[in-house]
Amino acid sequence: MLLGEPPRSAGDLHFRLFGIPVRVHPYFWLVAVMLGLGPDSQLSDILIWVVAVVISILIHELGHALLMRAYGLWPWITLTGFGGLASADPAGAQRIGTAGNVLISFAGPAAQFVLVAGLAAALKALGYSITLDTSGIVPLVYPGEPVASWGVSMLLIYLMTASVSWAVLNLIPVYPLDGGQIARDLFLAASPRNGITRSLILSIVAAVAVAVVALSNGSKVLALMAGLLAYSNYAALQAYRNQRGW
Ligand SMILES: [Zn+2]
């Protein structure tokens, strides 16, 4: 999920994962720390949270990128303030067609679901209990008891809850989230003429709905993000209509 690639900066971190170039923009660390800050969080707690977020989002973007490569593209991954982005040459995406692009969009959230299912299965196999927590907007699973040490337990809890939350959030049909990309690809396949307009209208309606649900659940950060996405899609719809002359 992201609005665009950030410019290169001196603080960028570069490495390769399975041969795929990865760039981490400094804003990524800043936003990850801010999201992990609680009223009484310790430094060790925040560090473990940031490690969990890096692993979770890298696995999400790897899901997209590895499938892009399977389709013959040469992807790269950027981690920045609002999460991650797996990109490739846009001409290649057109060549892949609707089904391929939908699968590529779905592969990010799917990779996170597979990670959590794999961790839960491994914990079960080792004799640990798993908690299913349905108290929030999104059902979460995490270890029901301490695993190995405090640090390992916290890492597992953060990794499993952040992964499911991020995957579900990204499947909401709001552009440019993965669910919004999927909706746009399907609308465009059904109607090349009206696809963009329909996907933008669905994005606005879905983002407003998420903002209302988040507000009634007291999730201010989610409500703010959904509100910003509703506005950016509304602005995009106006610009698109002006450009088309109606
Ligand atoms: Zn994604």
The position carrying tokens 């800050």 is 37
Separation of CA 111 and ligand 1 centre (Å) = 10
Q: What is the mean pLDDT of residues 69-84?
A: 91
pLDDT tens string 90-122: 888 788 999 999 999 999 999 999 999 999 999
Report the pLDDT value the prediction gives residue 246, as an integer from 0 to 100: 58
Report the pLDDT value the prediction gives residue 81, as an integer from 0 to 100: 84
CA atoms lying within 13 Å on the CB side of residue 25: 19
Report the pLDDT value the prediction gives residue 190, as an integer from 0 to 100: 96
Report the pLDDT value the prediction gives residue 157, as an integer from 0 to 100: 96
Report the pLDDT value the prediction gives residue 78, as an integer from 0 to 100: 95
Average pLDDT, the chain: 92
Report the pLDDT value the prediction gives residue 90, as an integer from 0 to 100: 82
Separation of CA 80 and ligand 1 centre (Å) = 13
Peptide bond into 26 cis (omega under 30): no
Separation of CA 57 and ligand 1 centre (Å) = 9
Q: What is the mean pLDDT of residues 58-82?
A: 94
Report the pLDDT value the prediction gives residue 86, as an integer from 0 to 100: 93
**Radius of gyration of the chain, Cα coordinates, nearest whole angstrom:** 19
Separation of CA 50 and ligand 1 centre (Å) = 19
Separation of CA 162 and ligand 1 centre (Å) = 14
d(CA 113, CA 111) in angstroms, rounded, equals 6
Separation of CA 154 and ligand 1 centre (Å) = 25
Separation of CA 61 and ligand 1 centre (Å) = 6
Question: pLDDT above 70 covers what percent of the chain?
Answer: 98
Given CA atoms 53, 81, 140, 135 in this order, what sign does their dihedral have?
positive
Separation of CA 94 and ligand 1 centre (Å) = 18
Separation of CA 28 and ligand 1 centre (Å) = 15
Separation of CA 84 and ligand 1 centre (Å) = 7
Separation of CA 238 and ligand 1 centre (Å) = 26
pLDDT at 1 over 60: no
Contact 181, 172 (CB under 8 A): no
pLDDT tens string 156-204: 999 999 999 999 999 999 999 999 999 999 999 999 999 999 999 999 9
Helix axes 26-36, 43-70, angle to 10 degrees: 130
Report the pLDDT value the prediction gives residue 21, as an integer from 0 to 100: 96
204 Cβ contact list (under 8 Å, min separation 6):
230, 233, 234, 237
Whole-model pTM: value is 0.92
Beta bridge partners of 76: 87
pLDDT tens string 11-48: 999 999 999 999 999 999 998 998 888 778 889 999 99
